Amino acid sequence: MLETNPSHTVDAVLGALDQALGNGDIDQVMRLFCEDCYWRDLVTFTWNISTAEGHGQVRAMLDTQLGHVAPGSWRQDDAEMAMHDAGITSGWFHFETAVARGYGHIRLRDGKIWTLLTTMEELKGHEEPRGFRRPRGADHGSDPARKTWKERREAELADLGRTEQPYIVIIGGGQGGIALGARLRQLGVPTIIIEKNERAGDSWRKRYKSLCLHDPVWYDHLPYLPFPENWPVFAPKDKIGDWLEMYTKVMELNYWSSTTCTSARWDEAAKAWTIVVERDGHEIELNPKHLVLATGVSGKANVPAFEGREIFKGQQQHSSEHAGPDGWRGKKVVVVGSNNSAHDICAALWEGGADVTMLQRSSTMIVRSDTFMEIGLKDLYSEQAVASGMTTAKADLIFASLPYRLLHEFQTPVYDKIREVDADFYGQLESVGFMLDFGEDDSGLLMKYLRRGSGYYIDVGASDLIIQGKIKLVSGVGVQRLTERTVVLDDGRELEADLIVYATGYESMTGWAAELISHEVADKVGRCWGLGSATTKDPGPWEGELRNMWKPTRQEGLWFHGGNLHQSRHYSKYLALQLKARMEGVPSPVYGMPPVHHRS
């Protein structure tokens, strides 16, 4: 169908949608949608992060929610151009509900809605004080009772958590907790962030010394304060640490460092939490209405319990404890694992003069960093994208507009191209025995990340060392046991070792729920992360969204926040709005709380 004016087409569909929804005529609404449609909603319709797939699910959602939501004022965003490409017409729009202003994206196929993204921008009456609404700062006029900003801030830091209870406690002061904390502060929600380390940013500083971000800068901005244009593409860990530290300060976060949470109990009568933290040698009880666990997808170390661990005479470290190659020159190091941390650590050890062996038990998805940036990310998150007018907000929304169910279809051609472009590289890796995969359905890195949070390496140099044999590779076997001085493999071979590094990843965040709250609550809530794709480490059934992330869970008052810097930035917005709504008593009827299929 020849599309002469995508803008008019989008206008027409939005107008029809507006009318049908306004009439409450769900049949009329459904006639606007393809059979194989997707409606992804971030809060506005469902008070959830959810994707309705197909007519049945969309209809069911509207049957329940439409009356509450009272959507209206659907209109194209005239600051954006509607597009038509490969049979798909797409555009951007504003809309409203009874309590919020929204923004969204629409894709049409043959004039009908194929994908619809509706997101909450702000709550009416609770808009963030920025731009035209930014605070004045100096209170003009005269006021004998005036307190300076410094006095007010000091009073807040003294009182909050002592004489005044926060509405929210966030456990975990890494980029997730920090991004969410910044959003909540702008929304005026009293929040305390609990961080075990001494300084904001330490969760990065304390990692192995060669660590740099693996995602490029345009992907990584925090809310409100993007990295400047002279920030490196891949920030070294200490630079990120310093940025996070200053961010907590200038964003005026109530950040309790050197503070550990020892327990959290839900008080059903009070509808609040009883949280005990240790700070400066004292126990402090906090009673927020909501608890957010932002302990990190790379938070709780997973260490395999190999037979012989206690008798091994060398050192053993999880990757999160490994400081770097200093002191290991000339020594024998075995690194168990073959994903990101394993590669980084092996490369640094080789550079530091160690004799290093990588032990690869199962296959790893490898993509070269430059190729990944060029082919995988360039359209949305790159200098070129910025130069062509792409903003972080828009990139995030384009990303969010692709339903998870379809995402692998978009990704597979990307990785087909990557395999082609780097065919020699992959061939060389395989020729030395490295076990490669491209995701179970060849859908690549992003899908692996979303499905299981692991199983890949963005190559910044280690793969060449493996190809050249500088990092020794033993693949296709696992560890049977340890002896005093060796690692014994399943096939009987022995590797001498002075140091064993377990680059064996991390546990689900629900592990923290079990530890801090209780096993019952953890079981009630179920596993975090994954899509239910029925692939390795991500059993079905299909969830359609990341389990438990940024949305209501089966435990009242308990939420999970986290992910990579992009997700921490983008989804902190929707989680903060959900929490603000609850604080303000804005009606927020949740639709589509998924059943718990997996406990952990």
Strand 456-459 versus strand 436-437 pairing type: unpaired
Contact status: 3 vs its own copies (CB under 8 A): no
| Binds its own copies (CB under 8 A): choice among 68, 239, 265, 485 | 239
CB 36 to its own copies: min, Å: 40
Q: Which of 213, 358, 479, 501 binds its own copies (CB under 8 A)?
A: 213
Site track for its own copies across 454-483, x = CB under 8 A: ------xxx-xx----x-------------
Entry field: residues in the chain:
600
Q: Tokens 């975090």: give the residue.
A: 528
- List Cβ neighbours of 540 (8 Å cut-off, separation of 6 or more): 532, 533, 534, 597
Residues 6+ apart with CB under 8 A from 277: 194, 256, 259, 260, 261, 262, 283, 284, 286
Cβ closest to its own copies, residue 103 vs residue 560:
103
Is-contact 170 206, C-beta < 8 A? no
In whole angstroms, how close is the CB of 405 to its own copies at the nearest point? Answer: 34
370 near its own copies (CB under 8 A) = yes
Q: Are 107 and 89 in contact (CB under 8 A)?
A: yes
Are 397 and 105 within 8 A, CB to CB?
yes
Token digits of residue 589: 């009827």
Residue 35 belongs to what H/E stretch?
Answer: strand 33-42
Q: Do residues 168 and 189 make contact, with C-beta atoms less than 8 angstroms apart?
A: yes
What's the angle, vertex CA 423, arms to CA 418 and CA 425, rounded to 5? 100
Asked if 424 is part of the footprint of its own copies (rule: CB under 8 A), the reply reads: no
Q: How many residues bind its own copies (CB under 8 A)?
A: 63
The piece of 69-77, 141-149, 475-483, 509-517 that touches its own copies (CB under 8 A) is: 141-149
- Window of 230-238, 283-291, 410-418, 522-530 that interacts with its own copies by CB under 8 A: 230-238
* Binding of its own copies by 224 (CB under 8 A): yes
Distances (CA, A) of 163 to 143, 258, 357: 26, 21, 55
131: contact with its own copies by CB under 8 A: yes
Q: Please select the residue that binds its own copies; options are 1, 155, 158, 225, rule is CB under 8 A.
A: 225
Piece of 8-16, 77-85, 269-277, 379-387 that binds its own copies (CB under 8 A): 379-387
Mark the segment that binds its own copies (CB under 8 A) among 29-37, 146-154, 413-421, 526-534: 146-154
Residue placing its CB nearer to its own copies in the complex, 345 or 479: 345
**Among 93, 350, 438, 457, interactor with its own copies by CB under 8 A:** 350
DSSP label at residue 236: B
**Min CB(221)–its own copies separation in Å:** 11
Q: Cα(first)–Cα(last) distance of the chain, in Å?
A: 48
Give, as ranges, the residues between 485 and 544 that touch its own copies (CB under 8 A): none
Q: Binding to its own copies by residue 268, rule CB under 8 A?
A: no
To its own copies, the closest distance from the beta carbon of 237 in angstroms equals: 8
Query: At residue 77, what are phi and psi to the nearest 5 degrees?
Result: -80, 110
431 forms part of the interface with its own copies (CB under 8 A): no
Which lies closer to its own copies via its Cβ, residue 209 or residue 279?
209
User: Is the CB of 148 or the CB of 262 nearer to its own copies?
Assistant: 148
- Least distance between its own copies and beta carbon 459 (Å): 8
Judged by CB under 8 A, which stretch of 104-112, 132-140, 261-269, 554-562 contacts its own copies? Answer: 132-140
Report, in Å, the least distance between residue 460 CB and its own copies.
4
Indicate the helix (H) or strand (E) that contains 472.
strand 472-475
With respect to its own copies, which residue has the nearer C-beta, 191 or 533?
Answer: 191
CB-based burial of residue 427 (10 Å sphere; 0-12 exposed, 13-18 middle, 19+ buried)? exposed
Tell me if 541 sits within 8 A of 373, measured CB to CB: no
| Tokens matching residue 9 | 């087409």
Going by the DSSP 8-state scheme, the letter that residue 228 receives in this structure is P
The binding track of 109-128 with respect to its own copies, each residue x by CB under 8 A or -, is -------------------x
Instruction: Report the residue number, 140 or 282, with the smaller CB distance to its own copies.
Output: 140
Whose tokens are 């469902």? That residue is 46
By the 10 Å C-beta count (0-12 exposed, 13-18 middle, 19+ buried), 125 is classed as exposed
- Listed ranges 98-106, 143-151, 267-275, 581-589: which one lies at the site for its own copies (CB under 8 A): 143-151
Question: What's the CA gap between 201 and 211, in Å, rounded?
Answer: 13
Q: Which residue, 564, 551, 563, is CA-closest to 525?
A: 551
Torsion (CA) 373, 376, 378, 381 in degrees, nearest 10: -90
Determine if 137 is a binding residue for its own copies (CB under 8 A).
yes
From the list 14, 180, 235, 581, which residue makes contact with its own copies (rule: CB under 8 A)? Answer: 235
The set of residues, in sequence order, having a beta carbon less than 8 Å from that of 385 and lying 6+ positions away, is: 218, 378, 379, 395
Query: Is 153 one of the binding residues for its own copies (CB under 8 A)?
Result: yes
Tokens 């024998």 map to which residue? 332
Residues near its own copies (CB under 8 A): 128-132, 134-138, 140-144, 146, 148-151, 153, 186, 209-210, 212-213, 217, 224-225, 228-239, 242-243, 245-246, 249-250, 347, 350-353, 369-370, 383, 386-387, 460-462, 464-465, 470
